[in-house]
Amino acid sequence: CATGNGGFINTLLSWSFFTPLARLTYCAYLIHPILIYAYYSSLRTPLYMDDSTLAVVFSGIMVLTYMFAFVLSLAFEAPMLSLEKLIFNCLSLILKRWRRYWYIRGPSEVKHHE
């Protein structure tokens, strides 16, 4: 895909539908095993796993995983990203002022306290 040889696969993976899902991937990675464990440990009888049952269980767990991942992302990831952006903007502003200070005065004009 990065070299331009992806063709249809590159088009499919670059589709904008996957962008929100890609942002939730890490949260889904953390939630997914917990939901699988909760589902299978709550069964009272053994489960006969044929193709249709597997498809339904997979679909249900996947939908629940991304629903919980969305909530987890809103609760933890989004506030941290906002805080990170605020901190880096503030540091960038301080650095710009510091560079401007040194550019205007130069190192020889700055008084050193001894």
Indicate the number of domains in the chain. Answer: 1
Q: How far apart are CA 79 and CA 27, in angstroms?
A: 14
Q: How far apart are CA 102 and CA 68, in angstroms?
A: 50
Q: How far apart are CA 20 and CA 31, in angstroms?
A: 17
Against a cut of 0.85, is the pTM above it? no
Q: What is the per-residue pLDDT across 38-50, written as a single tens digit (0 to 9) for each?
A: 999 999 998 888 9
13: containing domain: 8-105
Q: How far apart are CA 19 and CA 27, in angstroms?
A: 14
Domain for residue 3, yes or no?
A: no
Domain for residue 114, yes or no?
A: no
Q: Is 67 in contact with 24 (CB distance < 8 Å)? A: no
Domain for residue 79, yes or no?
A: yes
Domain for residue 12, yes or no?
A: yes
Q: What is the per-residue pLDDT across 95-109, written as a single tens digit (0 to 9) for each?
A: 888 777 776 665 565
